[in-house]
Structure 1
Amino acid sequence: MSGEPITYVRTGRPDAPAVVCLHGIGSNANAFGDVLDLLTPAHQGIAPNLPGYGGSDPLPTTHPTVTDYATALVAFLDRLALPTCHLVGSSLGALIAAAIAATYPDRVESLLLTAPATGAGQTPQTRQAELTARADLIALGPERMAETRAPQLIAGNPPGPLHAVKAATRALDPAAYMQAAHALASGDILTYTPHIQARTLIVCGTADKVAPPADHAHPISDALPGSELVLLPDLGHIIELESPIALANLITRHAGRL
């Protein structure tokens, strides 16, 4: 939908429990399209475009933090009159979702982090390395970036998901991408984990080259006692495109738990 500071895709009945899905740095709300369709009729599915993506207004600062994105998205939930939701985040979206769950615990009924990125905010060196890598990608231009990046994100390179990733990459706004890169570079998900109260499920593909489970999903799970970790064989970094059925089933199971 347009006409809002944040554009979004919405499916299902407005009176059904809400599942809100946050996309990653190189993606957009359309990545969750099949997942949202599969969540109906039990849930309404909502996938916002992050600020600067898909027609959403950009954030007003060139160097935003994860908190800036979390604040903008909670304001978005307020505009939709959603006091609570089941929150799903993919990659950078997982980092933002963790920040929302930690800062606004009463707003999050359950939390699902898929292919979570821990962030690079541990040291000045890791922060600069992340920013340099993102700037180098943008400098390639949309076509070369799409051809270079997409095969790293999708395990086995199936044509459908690969095409979707390339299309999303070509549609990126460079300024918005670098805004998101600053948030990713300065963020550290482990600063939020001590404050997360929501039931948490962490999902990662065993073939994820961008956020390998050993470096991301496992440390996050270890920092969240009582969380559940599910590893999906032979999937890469964008599970919502590679196996929407598997992800929708996990969301439905996790959101439905008492």
Structure 2
Amino acid sequence: MTASVARANGIDIAYETFGSADDPPIVLVMGLGTQRIGWPDELCAQVADAGRFVVRFDNRDVGESTHLSELGTPSVLDLLPGRRPPYGLSDMAGDVVGLLDALGLDAVHLVGASLGGFIAQTVTIDHPDRVRTLTLIMTSTGRRRVGRPHPRVLGRLARIRRDPAATRDEAVEQTVEIFRLIGSPGHPFDEGRVRELAGHSYDRGYDPDGYRRQLAAILAQPDRTADLRAVTAPTLVVHGLADPLVGTSGGVALARTIPGARLMGFSGMGHDLPRSLWPTFAAEIVDHTAGATEPSQVRT
């Protein structure tokens, strides 16, 4: 594993790589307020050991990448529909493309989870020549009628996030509470790993204001349905059948909209990456990216 920082799209993007740069590149894009370490080391290593060059990075406003504090903190009113966010998904997609440029990667296999899936879709739509294959995990199309969270879960999340943690211990406890709420009911809850990940994330760059700026970008995202119908990148859609945060209808809508997309639904999986499924995820990503050497095109 090698860590570094690249100048990309006018900001600094912190990233790590696994495996040989001579192998086909896979870029992993993580979700809301979650740092690159949300992609488990073991999962990344399994994919790299199968002959892939794996890149994971911190999105803007999290971890060791640039935090855009000068853009301010969105208020509750700023999170309402129709309000202009500090930045949008296209800006975050531009970060990904800027990182590819900095690393000298012309076209990659792109994997996005949750918000990372929104970003990966946007990269594929806006820059189809940079994407060989697309893997979308626990995400949706941006259409308001699909992928809706369970109201009970949304209310409890809002309560947990209402007051930022004042200490490291509080941040860890909040994270444990969140993952007990949105995690996979059909798989063991790995509290030890969640606590370790939460503590490490706090030490690397705890930023509740950055979380709100990312959330504003999500809430202002467009419906990508029409654009997704024109995507020709081979696409794998992975979704938990017990996901309370991005409903299963989001993954189904993606698979129905993107021509030729393949849907894999996992019983008992919620809105996380349960340890028991890491070998399966790794094998599916490796299989999906095998033999795809040409970037996607968009039908006109």
TM-score in same-fold range (> 0.5) = yes
| Counterpart selection for 2:61 from 48, 52, 61 | 52
- In structure 2, what is the equivalent of residue 204 of structure 1? 239
Write out aligned runs for 1:60-139 (5 A).
Answer: 61=71, 63-119=86-142, 137-139=160-162
Write out aligned runs for 1:7-46 (5 A).
Answer: 7-32=14-39, 33-41=41-49, 42-46=51-55
Which amino acid in 2 is paired with 1:35? L
Report deviation, 1:239. 2.1
Q: Which whole-Å deviations, capped at 9, do the CAs of 1:40-69 have from their partners, x for residues lacking one?
A: 231011001101111101357451110010
Q: Which whole-Å deviations, capped at 9, do the CAs of 1:95-130 have from their partners, x for residues lacking one?
A: 0000001111110000000011444778xxx9xxxx
Aligned partners of 1:240, 1:78: CA distance in 2, in Å?
32
Which amino acid in 2 is paired with 1:101? T
Aligned partners of 2:212, 2:33: CA distance in 1, in Å?
10
Bigger CA drift: 94-103 or 193-202? 193-202
TM-score normalised by structure 2 residue count:
0.75
Count, aligned residues: 250
Aligned partners of 1:213, 1:9: CA distance in 2, in Å?
31
**Relative to structure 1, is the Cα distance of residues 169 and 137 closer, same or farther in structure 2, using a 3 angstrom cutoff?**
farther
Aligned partners of 1:204, 1:24: CA distance in 2, in Å?
14
Aligned partners of 1:117, 1:184: CA distance in 2, in Å?
11
Alignment gaps of 5+ in structure 2: 7-11, 73-85, 293-300
**Relative to structure 1, is the Cα distance of residues 169 and 149 closer, same or farther in structure 2, using a 3 angstrom cutoff?**
farther
Write out aligned runs for 1:142-157 (5 A).
Answer: 142=165, 143=170, 145-156=174-185, 157=189
| Identity, % of aligned positions | 24
**Relative to structure 1, is the Cα distance of residues 10 and 96 closer, same or farther in structure 2, using a 3 angstrom cutoff?**
same
Contact 1:6 1:57 in 2 (8 A): yes
Contact 1:146 1:165 in 2 (8 A): no
Give the CA RMSD over aligned residues: 2.6
TM-score normalised by structure 1 residue count:
0.86
Contact 1:120 1:184 in 2 (8 A): no
Structure number with larger C-alpha Rg: 2
Aligned partners of 2:226, 2:207: CA distance in 1, in Å?
29
Q: Which whole-Å deviations, capped at 9, do the CAs of 1:161-202 have from their partners, x for residues lacking one?
A: 533564477454112111110111011343541342211110
Contact 2:230 2:258 in 1 (8 A): no
Report deviation, 1:225. 2.4
- In structure 1, what is the equivalent of residue 82 of structure 2? none
Question: Does the residue aligned with 2:13 lie in a helix, a strand or coil?
Answer: coil
Which amino acid in 2 is paired with 1:106? D
**Relative to structure 1, is the Cα distance of residues 114 and 80 closer, same or farther in structure 2, using a 3 angstrom cutoff?**
same
Contact 2:176 2:194 in 1 (8 A): no
Contact 2:29 2:57 in 1 (8 A): yes
Contact 1:95 1:189 in 2 (8 A): no
Which amino acid in 2 is paired with 1:91? S
Question: Does the residue aligned with 2:61 lie in a helix, a strand or coil?
Answer: coil
Bigger CA drift: 243-252 or 107-116? 243-252
**Relative to structure 1, is the Cα distance of residues 24 and 114 closer, same or farther in structure 2, using a 3 angstrom cutoff?**
same
Aligned partners of 1:172, 1:135: CA distance in 2, in Å?
18
